[in-house]
Amino acid sequence: CYRATAAHQAVFSRHKMATRLAARMFTTAAQQALSTKVCIVGSGPAAHTAAIYAARAELQPILFEGDAMVGGQLTTTTEVENFPGFPEGVMGGELCDRFRKQSERFGTKILGEMVTKVDLSKRPFNIFTENHHVTADTLIIATGADAKRMDFPGSGEGAGGYWNKGISACAVCDGAAPIFRNKPLLVVGGGDSAMEEASFLSRYASKVILVHRRPEFRASKIMLARARNNPKIEFMVPYVPVAALGDKLLRTVRLKNVQDDTTIDVPANGLFFAIGHQPATGFLGGQLALDDKGYIATKPGATSTSIEGVFACGDVQDSKWRQAITAAGSGCMAALEAEHFIAAHS
């Protein structure tokens, strides 16, 4: 394999320094210039696992956690019962706080700012926020994917809303909770995810009603047949939810027939959205290759992307599993790959 001579390394070092100095010329007066071997964008289990590994490798990572919904989708979950090490369960927010403290313990510099744009045309990469301009030898993207939710009276958070009080967007995360056991539950959606979630929930629910706005389904034939053959799953089409009702918890979902506009109130202690996810990739400006679902494309069995030195982990590149534990595992992979990349290019 190619091994750089001392002369080559000197040229590389001078080029690297010149590139960083040139990058700083574009930093506005209001932006503080920083440089790092590893910059991480994200705030969930993938981001913090990457930060912990990178920091322990003495790579002095900088992590941008954003300024809203810090912790990612875990913060929208109440009790997490399937993350190892917590036999009694742990609140989603508390788990995120523990991730953050562990990252800080090993020296990760955490900044509560949103990354607005990046320049990946050359190394070191340029990462911009309102207050900082960071040059980084490697970039780890762990920005996650937001579960799509419907907006109707009672579907939100706060007063009068039943989000996390019976309404969820993750059956695997929340479906085994006591408030859903042996109760009627609704799943909204028409794809494979909806069929999977309905089948999963049927283990715990008294019955599952799958609600879809059209008689036709996008789900594969085998998944649809599996749901139809499940004696605990019923179908209601063509309906959409228009209101969530209850007391302290969800008790009833009002459904509207999209063909004749009639409504019906259906008793339900749970309503699960299974209408897809939106990966958080807008700030990349189309510089990385995405798959056909809009997730960052990574090489099989790895976290490397279409640009050398850029790695993606967690839900931003995972359209299938979308679990905290799988996100953490891929965060470990990204940090180790970044470490090896840095060593090979030093």
Which residues are catalytic, by number? Answer: 170, 173-174
Task: Give yes or no for a cis peptide into 124 (omega within 30° of 0).
Answer: yes
CA distance linking residue 116 with residue 104, whole number of Å: 23
3-state secondary structure of 181: coil
3-state secondary structure of 333: helix
φ, ψ for residue 74 (rounded to 5)?
Answer: -60, -30
CA distance linking residue 26 with residue 8, whole number of Å: 28
The enclosing H or E element of 342 equals helix 324-344
Q: Could you write out the DSSP letters of every residue in 214-236? A: SSS--S-HHHHHHHHT-TTEEEE
| Sequence-ordered list of residues with C-beta below 8 angstroms from that of 75, at least 6 positions apart, any chain | 69, 92, 93, 96
Whether 174 and 89 have beta carbons less than 8 Å apart is answered as no
3-state secondary structure of 239: strand
